[in-house]
Chains A and B, each alone.
Chain A
Amino acid sequence: MKTIKNDGSFYLNPYLGGVLLGVVLMLSFYLSGRGLGASGAVKNTVAATVNTVAPKHVENSAYYSQFAGGDKKPLNNWLIYEVLGVLAGALFSGILFNRLNFKVEHSPKITSRRRLIFALAGGLVFGFGSQLARGCTSGAALSGMAVLSLGGYITMVAIFGTAFVVAWILRKNWI
Chain B
Amino acid sequence: MQRKYTILSILLVVLALGLVILPKKTNKTETDPKVLLSALAEKSRFLTTDLVSKRIIENDPTLLLIDLRPADQFKAFALPGAINIQPESILSDSNSELLKQLGKDIVLYANSDLASEKAWLLCARYVNYSRLYIMKGGLNEWYNTIVMGTDVAATASSAEFDLVNFRKAARQYFTGAGQTTEKTATEKTPVKITVVRKAPKSSSGGGC
Question: When A and B assemble into the complex, do they touch directly, with CB atoms less than 8 Å apart?
Answer: yes
Chain A residues with CB under 8 Å of chain B are: 15, 33-34, 37-40, 43, 66-67, 77-79, 130, 134-136, 138-140, 143
Partner among B8, B202, B204, B208 whose Cβ is within 8 Å of the Cβ of A38: B208
Bound Cα distance from A169 to B207, whole angstroms? 30
| Residues 162-208 of B at the A interface (beta carbon under 8 Å) | 202, 204-208
Q: Contacts of A139 on B, CB cut-off 8 Å? A: 207-208
Bound Cα distance from A172 to B8, whole angstroms? 37
Residue in A closest to B9 when the chains form the complex, CB atoms = A15
Residue in A closest to B202 when the chains form the complex, CB atoms = A33
Interface size class of B (residues with CB under 8 A): under 10
Bound Cα distance from A103 to B207, whole angstroms? 32
Q: Contacts of B205 on A, CB cut-off 8 Å? A: 34, 37, 40, 77-79
How many A-B Cβ pairs are below 8 Å?
38
In contact, A135 and B202 (Cβ under 8 angstroms) = no
In contact, B8 and A134 (Cβ under 8 angstroms) = no
Bound Cα distance from A34 to B206, whole angstroms? 10
Contacts A/B (CB < 8 Å), 13 sampled: A34-B202, A38-B208, A40-B206, A40-B208, A66-B206, A67-B204, A67-B206, A78-B205, A130-B208, A134-B207, A135-B206, A135-B207, A138-B208
Q: Contacts of B202 on A, CB cut-off 8 Å? A: 33-34
Bound Cα distance from A63 to B75, whole angstroms? 34
Encode contact with A along B108-140: 1 for CB under 8 Å, 0 otherwise.
Answer: 000000000000000000000000000000000
Bound Cα distance from A38 to B206, whole angstroms? 11
Within the complex, the shortest CB–CB distance from A30 to chain B, in Å, comes to 14
Q: Contacts of B208 on A, CB cut-off 8 Å? A: 37-40, 79, 130, 134-136, 138-140, 143
User: Which of B8, B205, B208: most chain A Cβ within 10 A?
Assistant: B208
Q: Contacts of A138 on B, CB cut-off 8 Å? A: 208
Within the complex, the shortest CB–CB distance from A4 to chain B, in Å, comes to 17
Residue in B closest to A152 when the chains form the complex, CB atoms = B207
Partner among B5, B8, B207 whose Cβ is within 8 Å of the Cβ of A37: B207
User: Which of B8, B202, B204, B205: most chain A Cβ within 10 A?
Assistant: B205
Residue in B closest to A79 when the chains form the complex, CB atoms = B205
Within the complex, the shortest CB–CB distance from A64 to chain B, in Å, comes to 13
Bound Cα distance from A103 to B204, whole angstroms? 37
Within the complex, the shortest CB–CB distance from A36 to chain B, in Å, comes to 9
Bound Cα distance from A43 to B204, whole angstroms? 13
Bound Cα distance from A38 to B202, whole angstroms? 17
Q: Contacts of B206 on A, CB cut-off 8 Å? A: 40, 43, 66-67, 134-135
Q: Contacts of B207 on A, CB cut-off 8 Å? A: 37, 40, 134-135, 139-140, 143
Q: Contacts of A130 on B, CB cut-off 8 Å? A: 208
Q: Contacts of A136 on B, CB cut-off 8 Å? A: 208
What 9 new A-B contacts, CB under 8 Å, besides A79-B205, A134-B207?
A: A33-B202, A40-B208, A43-B206, A66-B206, A67-B206, A78-B205, A134-B208, A140-B207, A143-B208
